[in-house]
Amino acid sequence: MSNEKLTSRSENYSEWYNQVIQRAEMADYAPVRGCMVVRPYGWALWENIQQSLDGMFKATGHVNAAFPLFIPMSFLEKEKEHVEGFSPELAIVTIGGGEKLEEPLVVRPTSETIIGHMYSKWIKSYRDLPLLINQWANVVRWEMRTRLFLRTLEFYWQEGHTAHATEKEAVEETLRMLEVYTRFAVDDAAVPVIPGRKSNTEKFAGAVHSYSIEAMMGDTKALQAGTSHLLGQNFAKAFNIQYLDVNNELQYCWTTSWGVSTRFIGAIIMTHGDDQGLIMPPRLAPIQVVIVPIYKNDEERSKVMPVVEKIRAELNNIRVKVDDRTEVTPGFKFNDWELRGVPLRLEIGPKDVEKGSVMAARRDIPGREGKSFLPQDNIHQSVSDLLVNIQSSLLKRATAFRDSHIFDAASYEELLIAVEKGWAYAWWCGEPGCEAKVKEDTKATTRCIPIEQPGGNGKCVVCGETAHEKVYFARAY
């Protein structure tokens, strides 16, 4: 661990990002190119994300299951767009047990195909529907360039796969899970996101429609933080997922899939972090409160530690860490836990023992301004209140930042300026040509066509033709 200052976030955002992750011991690259080791502290955050999402999945009637890591190549080839979309980034096993395989096995880049294969066996009757299954898994996509959490060769995620009797139900499911992701991002991660539909060029290979939640990072670039796909009957037809309806007629199912990955950790880091390092939203923070005892000698220690233990015991259902390391100074610990993003720090020293107080320092407000004395009495209540307050102020701050970097673009000139400074919000006719022109001129792409629309019509910001929908253009990760 280093005790040097971090690179400033405004000076070099990408260096800041890598430094924070490494110094906070969130993750490392493994010796193999592009693969990521998630360190215990990073994994603890992921576990909290898992727990939060899993609770919402259960509440909406989904159950967990597991499917194979290896998928026969022929499975992917059954859906034309799917294999075309994924073939450049597949890792393929050609040798097994020293023998060349009859048919290559693909290391799953996503599991629609193998799950579709199983669903065709499992689903026979309308009584089997809807089938609502989620899988927590790792997947592999052979990316050209990797970035910790955001784009790694292997990543961890959850992928939900559902089958329904009607299109209407599948559409409802797709939007329901988009809503679940939105609630998770906003309420638990304090990451404001815009739910919307992807353009045809940006959608998932094999989907009818893709939806996503889009977040703005601290450098104003956009990050797709979760996706929900309406697969229509594309996979049902490719894999023969059929059922007999009440009239004894054979019907194809309507399917969906949706996922959130370890990429979301990157979203949290880049949304909330500052020049001191990470800031964890209290609801997901691996450590919510760190207590730093302060003493000069054994005598002071013997007075301070019982108070520390008493406070720790009272904060029973809060994730508390007592940093009783003796080899580093309190000042070092302050910086260390700030780097790791612990939302609230309690300092307890001889003065607090005398006064019956503790010093509380909130992570979201740096320096003296974020410090206050709390009475030791009723500490559980005051700490809980502070955590709630920090959670909501993080969301408020991120939302204000995002909104001040979204610009209405009424003309192409305005769009060019807007995507330099943040996101452009503009009418778009839906033509891929207009989208491609923007990408060529600015590197910005359509992020999503938001669910909430202003209504009425406008003129496409690129070609001037009549447009029915407004869309966000932005540079993206």
Partner RNA sequence: CGGGGUGUAGCGCAGUUGGCAGCGCACCGCGUUUGGGACGCGGGGGUCGGCGGUUCAAGUCCGCCCACCCCGACCA
What residue ranges bind RNA (CB under 7 A)? 1-6, 14, 29, 33-34, 85, 88-89, 141, 143-146, 150-153, 155, 202, 204, 212, 224, 227, 261-263, 276, 294-297, 326, 328-332, 334-336, 338-339, 347-353, 359, 361, 367, 371, 443, 476
- Calpha distance 206→189 (Å, rounded): 30
Closest to 267 measured CA to CA, from 217, 226, 228: 217
**Rounded distance between C-alpha atoms, residue 349 and residue 327, angstroms:** 17
Contact 183, 56 (CB under 8 A): yes
Q: Which is nearer to RNA, 88 or 454 (CB)?
A: 88
Nearer to RNA, 122 or 373 (CB): 373
- In the complex, what is the shortest distance from the CB of residue 189 to RNA, in angstroms, rounded to a whole number? 15
- DSSP H or E stretch at residue 76: helix 73-77
The DSSP bridge pattern shows strands 445-450 and 469-474 to be: antiparallel
* Minimum distance, C-beta of residue 339 to RNA, in the bound complex (Å): 6
| DSSP 8-state assignment for residue 363 | T
H or E, element range at 209: strand 209-216
- DSSP for 19-52, written as a single string: HHHHHTTSEEE-SSTT-EEEPHHHHHHHHHHHHH
**Half-sphere CA count of 406, side-chain side, radius 13 A:** 20
DSSP 110: -
User: In DSSP terms, which residues pair with 407 in a beta bridge?
Assistant: 424
CB 410, min distance to RNA, A: 26
- CB nearer RNA, residue 123 or residue 153: 153
Beta carbon nearer to RNA, 13 or 427 = 13
Based on CB atoms, which residue is closest to RNA, 84 or 167? 84
Q: How far is the CB of 77 from RNA (least distance, A)?
A: 18
Give the residue with the Cβ less far from RNA, 90 or 398: 90
Q: What are phi and psi of 476, to 5 degrees?
A: -130, 160
Considering the complex, what minimum distance in angstroms separates the CB of residue 99 from RNA? 27
Q: Tell me the C-alpha to C-alpha distance, in Å, between residue 61 and each of 109, 131, 157, 167, 173.
A: 26, 10, 19, 19, 11
The distance of closest approach from Cβ of residue 86 to RNA in the complex, given in angstroms and rounded to an integer, is 9
> What is the closest distance, in whole angstroms, from the C-beta atom of residue 363 to RNA in the complex?
9
Q: How far is the CB of 64 from RNA (least distance, A)?
A: 20
Which residue has 């992020």 as its token pair? 447
Task: Rank residues 92 and 359 by Cβ distance to RNA and give the closer one.
Answer: 359
Which residue's CB is nearer to RNA, number 249 or number 369?
369
